[in-house]
C-alpha cells in the first residue's frame, strides 16, 4: 500500500531517478575504461599507416632485406591480428598486442642505433623532428604494452575466451554449391589465405625452377642479376596466387563434376582435369605476360620451342599444369580439411596476419611513386 497522499508515479519517481543515475555512472565508467583500448587501437592503426606510407614512397630496389623488413612485417602481421582480437574483445589481444609492441620497439631501437634507419629521414625533415618521432615510437609502444598487460580496464574489457571451436566437424567446403559458399565470410577468408600463401610459394617455386635450368633439367635461361627474383624473395607472384584462386573457384569444382561424369573413375577424370587446368593456367600466364611483360623484362620464351609470342611455351605450361593438377587433386583437399578442422580463432588470426603482411608488400612492390620523379 502506498503512503497516504502519494500517487504511484510520485512514489516510483525517486527510484527511477536513482536507477537512471546508476546507469549513467556505469556508462561513464565503461567509456573511461575504453579510453586506453581506443588509444591502443589508434597506436597500432597509426603505426601501420606509417609503415604503409613508407612502403608507398620507398622504391623496391632501394629496400634491403634486413632488420627493417623484419620489424615492419612484425608490426603489420601482429598489428592486424591485435586489432581484430580487440574487436572481438578476446583476452589473447592483450598478450599478442603487448608482444607485438615490445618486439617492434626493440627491433626499431636496434635498427636505429646499429644501422641508422632514420638517417635518410633526418635529411628531409631534420634531426630534431626525426628524434622526436623515434622517441614517440618507443614511448607509444611501451605505454600500449603496459596498458594491455597491467591495466585493470584492459583485463575487464579484453576478457573473452579464445574461439577454439573447429570450422567444421566433418565434410569439405565444396559440399555446398558455390553460390551458397560465396555468401559466407569463411569462403573469402580461405580464398585470401590461398592467394597470399601461394603468391609467396610461387616466387620460391620460380627460384627452384631457375636452379633446375642451371642443373640442365629444363631448357631456357635466366637472369642471375634479377634482384626481384633473387634478392627480394618476398615479392608476391600474383599470377601463382590468382591461379590457385582459380583452382578453388573453378578447377576443383570442375574436377568433382568430371569425376561424377566419368562414373567415379579417377584416371579419366584426372586426365580431363589436367587438360582443363593446362588451358586455364596457360591463359592466366599469357594474360599476366601481356599486361606486365610486354617488354620481356620479366621473362622471355621466344628462344624456346613451341612458344606463343614469347609469353608462354609448351615446356613451362606442362610444368605448372602438372603442379596445378597436383594442387587440384591433393594439396587443396588436404589444406581445406586442415582449415575446417582447425580452431576458427586460430585460422582467423592467421588470415589477418597474412593480410597485414601482404598489404605492406603490395604497397612496396606494386606502387613505385619515386618512379614518377626519375
- Whole-number pLDDT of residue 151: 92
Quick one: pLDDT band at residue 29, thresholds 50, 70, 90?
Answer: very low
Q: Taking the CB of residue 235, how many other CB atoms lie within 10 A of it?
A: 19
127 vs 186, residue with greater confidence:
186
- Whole-number pLDDT of residue 2: 46
For range 45-58, the mean pLDDT: 87
Please give the mean pLDDT across all residues of the chain: 84
- Whole-number pLDDT of residue 326: 94
**How far, in whole angstroms, is CA 259 from its chain's centroid?**
34
Q: Tell me the C-alpha to C-alpha distance, in Å, between residue 281 and each of 46, 81, 221, 319.
A: 40, 33, 22, 11
Contact 357, 200 (CB under 8 A): no
Q: Is 43 helix (H, G, I), strand (E, B) or coil?
A: helix
Tens-place pLDDT, residues 226-285 = 777 888 889 998 888 988 998 899 899 999 999 999 988 999 999 999 999 899 888 888
Q: Is 313 helix (H, G, I), strand (E, B) or coil?
A: strand
- Whole-number pLDDT of residue 368: 67
pLDDT > 80? residue 3: no
Tens-place pLDDT, residues 75-104 = 999 999 999 999 999 999 999 999 999 999
pLDDT > 70? residue 373: no
Crossing angle for the helix pair 238-246 and 185-214, to the nearest 10 degrees = 130
pLDDT > 50? residue 26: no
Considering only CA atoms, give the Rg of the chain: 27
| Calpha distance 28→41 (Å, rounded) | 20
SS3 content of the chain, % helix, strand, coil (to 5): 75, 0, 20
- Whole-number pLDDT of residue 25: 41
156 vs 292, residue with greater confidence:
156
pLDDT > 80? residue 362: yes
Of 28, 35, 156, the C-alpha closest to 91 is: 156
Read off the C-alpha cell for 35.
Answer: 579510453
Q: Count of residues for the chain?
A: 374
Q: How large a percentage of the chain has pLDDT more than 70?
A: 87
Amino acid at each position: 500500500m502506498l503512503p497516504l497522499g502519494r500517487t504511484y508515479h510520485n512514489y516510483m519517481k525517486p527510484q527511477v531517478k536513482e536507477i537512471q543515475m546508476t546507469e549513467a555512472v556505469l556508462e561513464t565508467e565503461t567509456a573511461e575504461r575504453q579510453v586506453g583500448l581506443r588509444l591502443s587501437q589508434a597506436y597500432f592503426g597509426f603505426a601501420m599507416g606509417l609503415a604503409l606510407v613508407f612502403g608507398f614512397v620507398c622504391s623496391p630496389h632501394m629496400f634491403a632485406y634486413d632488420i627493417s623488413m623484419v620489424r615492419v612485417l612484425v608490426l603489420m602481421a601482429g598489428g592486424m591480428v591485435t586489432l581484430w582480437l580487440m574487436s572481438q574483445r578476446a583476452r589473447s589481444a592483450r598478450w599478442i598486442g603487448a608482444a607485438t609492441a615490445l618486439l617492434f620497439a626493440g627491433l626499431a631501437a636496434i635498427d636505429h642505433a646499429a644501422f641508422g634507419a632514420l638517417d635518410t629521414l633526418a635529411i628531409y625533415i631534420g634531426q630534431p623532428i626525426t628524434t622526436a618521432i623515434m622517441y614517440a615510437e618507443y614511448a607509444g609502444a611501451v605505454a600500449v604494452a603496459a596498458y594491455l598487460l597491467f591495466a585493470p580496464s584492459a583485463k575487464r574489457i579484453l576478457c573473452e575466451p579464445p574461439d577454439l571451436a573447429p570450422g567444421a566437424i566433418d565434410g569439405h567446403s565444396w559440399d555446398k554449391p558455390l553460390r551458397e559458399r560465396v555468401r559466407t565470410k569463411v569462403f573469402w577468408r580461405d580464398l585470401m589465405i590461398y592467394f597470399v600463401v601461394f603468391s609467396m610459394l610461387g616466387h620460391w617455386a620460380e627460384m627452384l625452377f631457375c636452379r633446375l635450368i642451371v642443373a640442365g633439367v629444363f631448357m631456357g635461361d635466366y637472369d642471375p642479376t634479377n634482384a626481384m627474383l633473387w634478392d627480394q624473395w618476398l615479392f608476391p607472384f600474383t599470377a601463382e596466387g590468382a591461379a590457385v584462386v582459380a583452382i578453388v573457384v573453378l578447377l576443383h569444382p570442375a574436377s568433382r563434376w568430371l569425376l561424377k561424369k566419368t562414373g567415379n573413375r579417377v584416371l579419366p577424370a584426372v586426365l580431363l582435369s589436367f587438360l582443363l587446368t593446362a588451358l586455364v593456367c596457360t591463359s592466366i600466364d599469357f594474360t599476366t605476360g601481356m599486361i606486365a611483360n610486354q617488354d620481356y623484362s620479366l621473362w622471355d620464351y621466344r628462344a624456346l620451342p613451341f612458344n606463343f609470342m614469347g609469353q608462354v611455351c609448351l615446356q613451362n605450361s606442362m610444368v605448372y599444369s602438372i603442379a596445378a593438377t597436383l594442387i587440384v587433386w591433393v594439396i587443396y583437399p588436404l589444406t581445406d580439411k586442415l582449415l575446417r578442422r582447425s580452431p576458427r580463432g586460430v585460422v582467423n588470426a592467421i588470415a589477418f596476419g597474412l593480410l597485414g603482411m601482404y598489404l605492406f608488400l603490395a604497397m612496396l612492390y606494386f606502387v613505385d611513386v619515386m618512379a614518377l620523379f626519375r
